[in-house]
Structure 1
Amino acid sequence: MNNRLLELLEQQGSEHYISGEQLSQALQVSRTAIWKQIKKLEAAGYRIEASRRLGYRLIDRPSKLTALELGAKLGEKGVAMIGGIRLFDEVDSTQNIAQRLAEEGAPEGTLVIAEQQTNGRGRMGRKWVSPSGKGIWMSFILRPGMPIHFAPQLTLLTAVALCRALRAAAAPLDIGIKWPNDLLVGGRKISGILLETTAEEERLRYVIAGIGISVNLTEDDYPPELLDIATSLRIQLGRELDRAEIVASFFAQFQQLYAVYQREGFAPIQTIWEALSVTLHKPTRLIVGGKATTGTPIGLNDQGALLVRMDDGAVVPLFSAEQVPPQG
């Protein structure tokens, strides 16, 4: 029924309404059923205006990413690392798709992008708001062939590449990195990174790098409880951005930094990460192993751990912890 409903709305054009009664008669369903289908179209990224007196009109359609467009943008920026693009309208999680492809032998640089995720996830099993046609929900395969203890450095490298790409695309927004994997603007989250590894004999078989970027979401796309902690580039800038351009810009940055990392090690990445961090040298609460503590992050060590000066003056390296807002 959704396809037929969409046809009827499109026939009216963006300037004209069609009443709920007309839609009900044409589709031979109740007006309640029409309303439910309208909500499904809105969830898929269609903008539909409803008027009690006039009915419904289709204002805008979701802009879909295409392999042709992405390939052209990647080519313009000289990105050679992509080993194939897999586009989906809807998946549970791009991480799951990429992992299956990696197990089947897909090469490094295989990219999975979905218009919508029904069960997108972040660190610690958290769900990620990822409506259709409004963000960048993607995962790609890396096969670095290095010892497993280097994995945290790849997360930090990915954050640096993404931060630099978004700063360029969304100037003048002051976008920064919150350790270990979030990007913030004005203290609110716009992007998250999740790297999941599979190792064999203490060496990485492959890494799935998942990235979610809230690009063109509006405030209506967020549950009320998230509005104080999450935002989008569109909300902050007041305009929509080209998603394909952002994807290409990220991979141009990642390709460059990955080459530097493989050639020179972690030190150059560490320096850039520390310059882009928005949480260093600020007292913070940390959840470590389920227990809360306080300290001041002061930088990274050579392995990519966060160095935290605790209240007793001791400097402790942390590979896994959660920074949370101070109480009170």
Structure 2
Amino acid sequence: MPSTQEKLIELLALNGTVFISGQDISETLNISRTAVWKQMKRLEKEGYQIEAVPNKGYRIVALPSIMSKNTLQWGLKTKWLGKNMVHQIKMPSTQTKANQLAQEGCAHGTVVIADRQETGRGRMNRSWFSNNDLGVWLSIVLRPNVPPLQGPQLTLVVATVLAELIELDVGITPAIKWPNDILINGKKIAGILTEMQAEQDKIHHIVIGIGLNVNQLADSFENEISKRATSLKIETGETFEKQKLIQSLLKRFEEAFDRYQLTGFSEVKDKWESFGYKINEEVSYKAGNVEKQGVIRGISTDGALIMENKQNQIETLYSAEINW
């Protein structure tokens, strides 16, 4: 249930640069005029710049520079994604927190965001270097209406969203390394971790974790990581406003998820392959403890990697060790 302050912020956001009278706020939120004034003073203490004009009312003219749940939701143009949001300056892991909330029955589209993670993690329980406020670290709780076998497709949906975000909002064309990494110039800039709880015929929830390196410099990474990782700032020389990136990411993902639920995976498959890393190139890989070589031909309709081996046979890989 949104707090009075959250309702007030949403009301002011809907009005944008237009003044809204204290009386209208009072009636809409069912609070006294004195309570309206007190709420405005609280917002000012949080860093919002409020313009108050007699006989006109109130409007917000500037937001706080520090990211918060309120500033993240201000101007967030989504219908359902991120309407329920948890933001903390630091937490052990957004993925752990989101899984906990999902088990407790939180709403579809709940978003958990941390400025920094103390124990961020990726696939295979590998650690993710995110104990800093230079990247985007968030997890999304979904309750999709698809069979459990299709759950892994959502990793590929998110990958296409991240790739398009980087290409269209930043101006760099990345590559998607199957199944869950986003690369620029061969270095990792983003990763995706998807965890699902389901029965044989029903998904209870899926939690998708996203890590995106944004404003790190080369010396922000530990030595070993710096050889394999990059950031938007390293690649462009620009500093990015994380809040805008998060809002754009959530809006793009909501649109992509709704299309996926409506039309299926074929559009996602085409987009994924347009960004696919080393498609039509030869790599070595291990499947079933057998070392092989083959050419990556794309992904299948269920999201598996399609490989053409040395014998010109097509193999469909759901799990494999690939020497990229």
TM-score, normalised on structure 2?
0.76
> Using the alignment, how far apart are the partners of 1:285 and 1:73 within structure 2?
47
The corresponding residue for 2:22 is none
Q: SS of 2:152's equivalent?
A: helix
The corresponding residue for 1:38 is none
The corresponding residue for 1:71 is 73
- After TM superposition, list the pairs within 5 Å mapping 1:154-303 onto structure 2: 154-171=154-171, 173-289=172-288, 292-303=291-302
Alpha-carbon offset, residue 88 of structure 1? 1.2
CA RMSD for the aligned pairs?
A: 1.6
The question of whether the paired residues in 2 share the 8 Å contact of 1:137 and 1:212 is answered with yes
Identical residues among aligned pairs (%):
33
Query: What do residues 207-245 of structure 1 show as CA deviations (whole Å, max 9, x unaligned)?
Result: 000000011111122111122211111111112111111
Q: 1:234 is aligned with what amino acid?
A: K
Alpha-carbon offset, residue 290 of structure 1? 5.5
Q: 2:278 is aligned with what amino acid?
A: T
> Using the alignment, how far apart are the partners of 2:123 and 2:319 within structure 1?
11
> Using the alignment, how far apart are the partners of 1:126 and 1:184 within structure 2?
18
Alpha-carbon offset, residue 255 of structure 1? 1.3
The corresponding residue for 2:85 is 85
Deviation beyond 6 Å, 4+ runs, structure 1? none
> Using the alignment, how far apart are the partners of 2:137 and 2:286 within structure 1?
27
> Using the alignment, how far apart are the partners of 1:145 and 1:293 within structure 2?
37
> Using the alignment, how far apart are the partners of 2:85 and 2:278 within structure 1?
35
Query: What do residues 245-304 of structure 1 show as CA deviations (whole Å, max 9, x unaligned)?
Result: 111111221111111111111111111111111221111122435554321110111111
Alpha-carbon offset, residue 64 of structure 1? 3.9
> Using the alignment, how far apart are the partners of 1:80 and 1:145 within structure 2?
15
The corresponding residue for 2:59 is none
The corresponding residue for 1:96 is 96
The corresponding residue for 1:315 is 314
Structure 2, unpaired ranges of 5+: 1-64
> Using the alignment, how far apart are the partners of 2:187 and 2:292 within structure 1?
22
Greater CA deviation, 108-117 or 78-87? 78-87
Q: Mark the CA change 1:126 to 1:259 in structure 2 (over 3 Å): closer, same or farther.
A: same
Greater CA deviation, 86-95 or 315-324? 315-324
The question of whether the paired residues in 2 share the 8 Å contact of 1:194 and 1:211 is answered with yes
Q: 1:308 is aligned with what amino acid?
A: M
The corresponding residue for 1:42 is none
Alpha-carbon offset, residue 134 of structure 1? 0.5
Alpha-carbon offset, residue 156 of structure 1? 0.6
Pair 1:141-2:141 in alignment? yes
The question of whether the paired residues in 1 share the 8 Å contact of 2:283 and 2:323 is answered with yes
> Using the alignment, how far apart are the partners of 2:250 and 2:121 within structure 1?
21
Structure 1, unpaired ranges of 5+: 1-62
Q: SS of 1:74's equivalent?
A: coil
